Chain A
Amino acid sequence: AQTVTQSQPEMSVQEAETVTLSCTYDTSESDYYLFWYKQPPSRQMILVIRQEAYKQQNATENRFSVNFQKAAKSFSLKISDSQLGDAAMYFCAYRSAPGGAGSYQLTFGKGTKLSVIP
């Protein structure tokens, strides 16, 4: 079974600065998807960014980018120019590729609570 580990329960960043959230995962599969989800207080979880394991290029979405190291099984999220609205729980998640075991489901880490200091 796949596992996802987020070793930073809490992080803080000054507004306009850059912060990196860490995520490692364990799998024996070669093809899979990785995601970062954001869960603001009392609001629904939304997708921040996704990465397909077969793609070597790191995904980027505006101020959000990832550092995907497949051999190291590491998938960190970098938030540039942090804004007050970035304050939330961030979850790293794994999903098997089509045809893989449990490929319908997302496996989440425990999350990192990000605070943004004005």
Chain B
Amino acid sequence: DTGVSQDPRHKITKRGQNVTFRCDPISEHNRLYWYRQTLGQGPEFLTYFQNEAQLEKSRLLSDRFSAERPKGSFSTLEIQHTEQGDSAMYLCASSPGTWTEAFFGQGTRLTVV
């Protein structure tokens, strides 16, 4: 088990472009979470999946953001029409149960220029 894997590690995009990030959770972890971390801040919750069902979404997740977890395995987070304010580290985490420890990936650092 290699832990939570995120791809890419870094992404530079022009404003207005669409970007997609991928997260592969630890195998058999049915809970998956996305967080966003901006410079000098702690991570902020974006959304939560239990298997393939998206059960909770933060108000931070505007209409330009969409997340999926087909078949309850890997997850993707897409940002459409990126803005400079979207520049941040996007963290994925997974857990085997809701009330257990969440294991984090190394994150995808997005820079919008």
Chain A residues in the interface with B (C-beta under 8 A) = 4, 33, 37, 42-47, 50, 91, 93, 98, 102-111
Contact = CB atoms under 8 A, between A and B. Distances in A.
A104 B33 contact: yes
Interface size class on chain B is 20 to 34
B25 to A, nearest CB: 13
19 contacts: A42-B106, A43-B106, A44-B104, A44-B106, A45-B91, A45-B104, A47-B101, A47-B102, A50-B101, A102-B45, A104-B33, A104-B45, A104-B48, A105-B45, A105-B48, A107-B45, A108-B44, A110-B40, A110-B42
A118 to B, nearest CB: 26
A104 B56 contact: yes
Binding site of B, secondary structure by majority: helix, strand, loop or mixed? Answer: loop
A80 B90 CA distance: 32
Contact of A44 (B41, B58, B107): B107
Given A44-B105, A104-B98, A106-B102, 6 more contacts: A37-B104, A98-B99, A104-B45, A105-B33, A110-B40, A110-B42
B92 to A, nearest CB: 10
Binding site of A, secondary structure by majority: helix, strand, loop or mixed? Answer: loop
Most buried by B among A33, A42, A44, A110: A44
B4 interface: yes
Q: Which 8 pairs, one residue from A and one from B, show the smallest C-beta to C-beta distance?
A: A108-B42, A105-B45, A45-B104, A104-B48, A44-B106, A44-B104, A91-B42, A108-B43
Contacts of A98: 98-99
